[in-house]
Amino acid sequence: MTALLHARPAEDAASVRAAGLLALGAFLLILLSGRSLDLLGSPARMALVIVWPLAAVVLWLSSRISAAAVYLIAGGLLLRWVELPAGGAGPSDVLAAVNEALDVWFGGGNPYDHVYQMTRPAGQPMPYPPGALLVHLPGFLVSGLAGVQFTEFVLAAAAMAGFVILGASVSWIAALPALAVYASAPNLVLLATDGSSDTGSGAMLLLAVLAVAWAVDRGLDDASMFLAGIAGALAVSTKQIALPIVLVLAVYLLRRYGWRPAARYAAAGAAILLLISLPFLIAGPPAYLRGLLSFIGVHQDIYGWNIWTLAQGLGLTPWEQQPATVLNAVLSAIALLVAVVLPYRSLAGAVLAGVVVTLVVLLTARWTTYAYFALLAPVVLALPALALWEARDRPATSALGA
């Protein structure tokens, strides 16, 4: 993404120090929060606390942002590395199901008409789009379930690299604290290692947003729009809930730059989605479509971060599953409709609208595990840098204009 790195306003030594110290401070306080009642951290966390003064002193004396960035990335990776489960079996059944799907696929079967044994409860359908299989395929080929789990570790590192790109291209003051929070937040560390797949989906979604910014900086040429469309398609093909943000990205291109770049973006994305779906459509269209829609109403109980759990906590009687599902669908559709008709002039505004739509979907569902928010976390943390990205001084020939 070399084009995204041009035309960044110069940041003086004081600004670099401020950005680095704010990020290091946030990282340190999160480390010191501990994970138990007596607030004692793990050995990895205590080691990072001990090394922290060195990183802070090097930053102060050198005024080099790399002193903070390297520490934050290394710390974030260490925290995740020590949490990786032995044998790749985390408490969530998501990656176990993906591993089983890949095993079925390579055995000549159809993952979308298979009766799964590793889901909880057993016998659940395959609810994940085929991109989830493709993204985890290299890890599966190398080391089975452990490799599938390690893919989430790699994609968490890719999300951290995304914040470095934003810092180098826009402002470290906006990007480095975001990196610090993403690297150290205990729940985000856990979700990269617990067998869920939302960490990887969130990284793919962040890269899809950055790809659109990169395409704009390149003047919306055909190659960049094609790659941006591919990135958006891959995000959606790993998790359906990524669709609102990717759809709003297309609307942003349409409202801000006209139908030609939006059409190229949408066409590239649709072509990739069709291409990776084709083998499963040929193998059995009903089974494939049934699998993709199976996430609707698959959980019959009320759980997690949503209005129905709030109602229970307040002593109110929540709605039954069917009317609650209808309300979820209606409110989500209204939010999406509003989002696609807004006259976007800002990428950050478009991404924020997509985040709001996604939150409407999640918060009005009856079952909303915290893992889902790992998909939104990197995009939400990137919003300040995205807002500053469009405020940079640009040449008169820039795609953003005056």
Query: Which whole number is the average pLDDT over 356-371?
Result: 94
The answer to whether residue 275 sits within a structural domain is: yes
DSSP type of residue 372? G
The answer to whether residue 400 sits within a structural domain is: no
pTM: 0.90
The answer to whether residue 398 sits within a structural domain is: no
**Which pLDDT band holds residue 3 (cuts at 50, 70, 90)?**
very low
Q: Residue 364, SS3?
A: coil
**Which pLDDT band holds residue 399 (cuts at 50, 70, 90)?**
very low
The answer to whether residue 402 sits within a structural domain is: no
The answer to whether residue 168 sits within a structural domain is: yes
Residues 6+ apart with CB under 8 A from 285: none
Q: Quick check: 396 pLDDT over 50? A: no
pLDDT over 70 for what percent of the chain? 90
Handedness of CA 195, 201, 204, 205 (dihedral sign): negative
Task: Dump strand ranges (E) for 266-322.
Answer: 303-304
Query: Which whole number is the average pLDDT over 262-269?
Result: 95
Domain count, the chain: 1
- Helix residue spans in 297-401 (DSSP H): 307-313, 321-341, 347-363, 373-389
Nearest Cα neighbor of 128 from 92, 90, 91, 95 is 95
pLDDT at 39: 63
Q: Mean pLDDT of all residues in the chain?
A: 88
What is the residue range of 288's domain?
2-389
The answer to whether residue 313 sits within a structural domain is: yes
User: What separation in angstroms does the CA of 1 have from each of 166, 224, 255, 346?
Assistant: 10, 10, 24, 20
The answer to whether residue 309 sits within a structural domain is: yes
The answer to whether residue 397 sits within a structural domain is: no
Query: Which whole number is the average pLDDT over 55-82?
Result: 95
Q: Quick check: 394 pLDDT over 50? A: no
Residues 6+ apart with CB under 8 A from 329: none
